Amino acid sequence: MPQLGKLALAIALILAAYSIVANIYGARRHLPDFVVSARHAVWAMCAMVTIAVVVLWIALLRSDFSLEYVAAYSSTTLPRVYKITSLWGGQQGSLLFWTWLLSIFTSIAAFQNRRRNPEIAPYALAVLAGVAIFFLLMLNFVTRPFDLLATIPAEGSDLNPLLQNYWMAIHPPSLYTGYVSATVPFAFGAAALISGKLDDGWIRSTRRWAIFSWFFLTLGNMFGARWAYEVLGWGGYWAWDPVENAAFMPWLVMTAYLHSVMIQERKDMLKVWNLSLIGLAFGLTLFGTFITRSGVISSVHSFTQSGLGPYFLSFLITVTLAYTALLIFRSKQLRSPAEFESYLSREAAFLFNNLMLVGIAFAVFWGTIFPVLSEAVRGVKITVGPPFFNRVNGPLALGLVFLMGIGPLIAWRRTTTSNLIRSFAAPVAIGVATGIVAAASGLRQWYVLTAFSLAAFVLGTVLVEFRRGMNARRHMVAEPRAKALVNLVAKNNRRYGGYIIHVGAIVAFVGIVGSSFFRTEVKKSVHVGDSFTIGSYTLRFQGLDQADTPHLESATARVQVLSDDGREITVMSPAKLFFKRPQQPATKVAIRSTPASDLYVVLAGIDDDGQTATFEVFLTPLVFWLWAGGLMMVLGTVIVMWPNVRERAAIATALSRSTTDAGELADAAPGGD
Amino acid sequence: MSLVFLAAVIFVFISPELKNVSRETFAAETTTNSEVSEGLTCQCGCGLTVANCNMPTCGFSVPTRAAIDRMINQGMTRAQIIAFYRRQYGEKVLSAPTTEGFNILAWTMPFIALALGGGMMVLAVGRWHSNQPSAPADSNASAQPTTFDPELRRKLEKELEERR
């Protein structure tokens, strides 16, 4: 069976190579049969990689320890769901998973473009196949998932205990989907440069792919943060770990790209900038996987460290140089007669928004690589951790939030002063009022006051936009408020879905500020029956329950939570776990979440007699809104991507009418036939 | 709707827990273990700060947090405790770069890059603004009949393409 997997990967590599040659030859010689053949080769490649994935999955489910990968990342006692997720639990498997996703997305792109974009689709598919070739070369020759062991062990080493939870089923697939799908708009951008077809056709063809990638990068980042929060036991959700940064940077750049393409669509401007952004986004996805797999920068995600670093770095440098060369080669053709009427315009607001987003991405990148740079220059190892990223990105985040409020209400081309005042009066008033109320309620830190005021300002601008839109609808079509709101969003899903995403981002921002600045912590050792307080809660240690299974031992505390008037609110069950293979301790956190704050209880230690336990307890305000904001962003993206069938039909009707009208008018014109 | 929104904002800010927490936070004037351990990087290889390393049996962060408690009880300040660990382990134990020598680049480069980018953007916008073509003069009404606007047709085709 493993031989089938090896063979499938070898055939996939050959098919990918054939697809490149056939696509380019067919495009250059205008031979559609070669292009069709290349498309079929892409689909066949996808089938081969799928076979390889299925073979590895079967081996994992059967605990076939003849395979080195299965022996390293599974065991007979591992629950079935984790046997499935261990496909991406190790180096070789995660690389195979990445390649599988790439082959699926390439196949979909090939299908979507079978009758359109004849000038650029072949080149785009060639680029996609080229990227696939790199990963297939790694899988066939460098990090092989189907290598066999000389001696078959009776039992496997098991999956890392930290990966044995349900987040393993959703976080890596989401993030990989976000990473890999960014390859499609990149490939079309590269194809536009190669073919010389530099209008915005490639952007229109890949807009949904870019949103799709952004959607899954958002999900992947949120899932990762939630996983860290629930499992790692330090009360936080983001440690500015290099691998976390590697997931955050492409998200920032893709956010900038999705905004700036709107300018190209409306005004045919910023072609070089948009091509650069999509190249940067793709490059950062490669950079991210380079960091994860190379060990160049130490990270808590060290489970995938290997000797792949030099290969990934070489590929990244090659892609970067080739793409940059193409951009320079086409730079004259990319110039457009740009019109820029005013700094007080949405175009300007979007430009500065891009500056902030790319600026934050650079700050994160710089902080991530600075330890390597420092060691290379001074020979001294240093660490760049959360204090750096928080202090640098904090002010930049405020600038970004401010611009989020400006963009929606400022007009395209030019806004007059009177329009500015009329549009922003209410949101500014809301922001200022919020700041005053916050200060009056006892908040004194300038950052918090500014952040909350700006957040309220942005929410105010979105409110104004919705109200304007609803009023316009109700003026045209007398309908109730609720119906006007639903129809407003349904008929302008791209715009108002975008506003919902903004609301989600702001809500998440408020959650981040609240949880970062106001978290309190108590560490206490107590006997059974004793209690301690944190905030308005009293926690009473009621006792310990021990359990022993073939897979792990556990000690679970019963902690009664009382309100300040002595009423029982809940009983929480933090636990200490000890996995048997590999022998590794872990913690199971207990969280009680409300919109106001989370009570987060960790069982930090137990005395031998089991009568005394040490608890670490965090009270974290507003963190609920980080997750709620994330959900809103997800909802907003779904709305943006929802196909608007009625509008499409109306446009098609208008188009067919325009053809008829133009023909009739031409016939009626003097001298016309 | 604006009033409802404002009321919601006020409600959040006067919530008892937030007020209690902010009072405790601002009342704290003594050094805390969290403040110190956030400034140190765990040396077990996890890459997290001493405050955040959650490994129950970590050979560095667990004893270090206990030692920090002892030093705080002895009256040492945050700066003194961090300096102590820096002497023991070198710069790598600090969770952020210092502001000396080459490390200044770490702190300043992002803002320099932002300023440079902003400057380039202002220049580019200024150039685009000055390149703006003047409005065309009105022309006499053509003898040709009105035909369907090709620009509108292009926009319609684009909209249709986007909704595929």
Domains of chain B in sequence order? 31-102 (1.10.8.640)
Nearest CA in chain B to A652: B160
Q: Are the Cβ atoms of B48 and A204 closer than 8 angstroms?
A: no
> For residue B125, which phi and psi values (nearest 5 degrees)?
-65, -40
- Token pair listed for A168: 């393993």
pLDDT at A243: 87
Q: In what order do the strands lie in the sheet with A612-621?
A: A520-527, A612-621, A597-606, A590-593
Instruction: Report which of A356, A628, A419 is spatially closest to residue A508, judged by C-alpha positions.
Output: A628
Residue with structure tokens 């940064």?
A: A245
Interface test with A, best of B44, B148, B152 (most A CBs within 10 A): B148
CB atoms within 10 A of CB A29: 9
Partners of residue A455 in chain B, C-beta under 8 Å: none
Cβ of A585 within 8 Å of Cβ of B102? The answer is no
**Chain B closest-CA separation from residue A371 CA (Å):** 9
Q: Is A403 exposed, middle or buried (0-12, 13-18, 19+ CB in 10 A)?
A: buried
How does DSSP classify residue B101? G
Residue of B nearest to A606 (CA): B56
A150 min Cα distance to partner chain B (Å):
32
Gap between the Cα atoms of A477 and A479, Å rounded: 6
Judged on CB neighbours under 10 Å (0-12, 13-18, 19+), A391 is exposed
Chain B residue with CA closest to A519: the answer is: B21
What radius of gyration, in Å, describes the C-alpha atoms of chain A?
Answer: 28
Q: Which residues of B touch A343 (CB under 8 A)?
A: 125
3-state secondary structure of A554: strand
B49–A385 CB contact, under 8 Å? yes
Provide the shortest C-alpha distance from residue A246 to chain B (in Å).
15
Which chain A residues are closer than 8 Å to B90 by Cβ? 380-381
For an interface test with B, give the residue of A300, A400, A403, A622 to mutate (most B CBs within 10 A).
A300
Query: What number of C-beta contacts closer than 8 Å exist between A and B?
Result: 242
Q: Kindly report the nearest CA distance between residue B137 and chain A, in angstroms.
A: 18
Fill in the amino acid letter for A526: V
pTM score, whole prediction:
0.88
Residue of A204, A434, A460 lying closest to B158 (CB–CB):
A204
Q: Is A399 helix (H, G, I), strand (E, B) or coil?
A: helix
Can you state the angle between helices A121-137 and A91-112, rounded to 10 degrees? 170
pLDDT of residue A297: 66
Q: Kindly compute the dihedral angle of the four CA atoms of residues A486, A488, A494, A496, in this order, to the nearest 10 degrees.
A: -80
- For residue B117, the chain A residues in CB contact (below 8 A) are 355, 358-359
Q: Angle at CA B4, nearest 5°, toward B2 and B8? A: 115
Q: Look at residue B162 in the predicted model and tell me its pLDDT.
A: 58
Decide: A133 and A185 in contact? Cβ < 8 Å. no
Contacts of A486 (CB under 8 A, 6+ apart): none
Residue among A340, A370, A662 whose CB faces B147 most closely: A662
- DSSP H/E element including A113: none
Contact flag B13-A452 (C-beta cutoff 8 Å): yes
Q: Which residues of chain B are under the pLDDT cut of 50?
A: 1-2, 13-29, 134-145, 164
Write out chain B residues lying below 8 Å of A356, CB-based.
Answer: 114
Contact (CB<8Å) A585/B114 = no
- Inter-chain residue contact B46 with A463, CB threshold 8 Å: no
- Among all residues of chain B, which has the CA nearest to that of A619? B21
Q: What is the pLDDT of residue B145?
A: 46
> Which pair of structure tokens corresponds to residue A537?
């809660």
Tokens at A117, concatenated:
């974009």
Do residues A247 and A285 make contact, with C-beta atoms less than 8 angstroms apart?
no
Instruction: Tell me which chain A residues have a C-beta less than 8 angstroms from the C-beta of B41.
Output: 383, 385
Which residue numbers in chain A have pLDDT < 50? 303, 661-673
CATH architecture, range A1-156: Up-down Bundle (1.20)
Do A456 and B9 lie within an 8 Å CB cutoff? yes
